[in-house]
Amino acid sequence: MNYELINSPSPELVKELTSNFFAYSKSKLPNLPPESEDKIFMVSARSQSGELIGGILANCYWDGLEIDTVWVSGKERGNGLGSELVSKA
């Protein structure tokens, strides 16, 4: 077996890997909805003055949640805002 780290995989390599993944997933879970039904969304928190103080960019698919980005302003960190954002997502 050979292992290879590929820093910038070609579109063909990405397609080969993802095609194999989806074929396997479909064989085990035939009723799995297509990935095209993903729902990308954002939950944000703003101060009373309208300033963005935190947010989450996420994707909901296959009955799961994939968090892409979480940010909380420095003055709000440690106050539970991040946990609250995850809960709302």
Please list the rounded mean pLDDT of every run of 10 residues in the chain (89 residues). Answer: 89 91 86 73 95 94 85 94 94
Closest by CA to 42, choosing from 68, 64, 61, is 68
Contact 89, 80 (CB under 8 A): no
Query: What region does 40 belong to: left with phi over 0, alpha with psi -120 to 50, or beta?
Result: beta
- What confidence score (pLDDT) does residue 36 get? 62
Range of the domain at 54: 41-89
In a domain, 68, yes or no: yes
- What confidence score (pLDDT) does residue 35 get? 64
Query: For residue 51, what is the domain's CATH number?
Result: 3.40.630.30
| Cα torsion 75, 82, 54, 84: sign | negative
- Please state the pTM of the whole predicted model: 0.61
- What confidence score (pLDDT) does residue 3 get? 87
In a domain, 23, yes or no: no
How many domains does the chain contain in total?
1
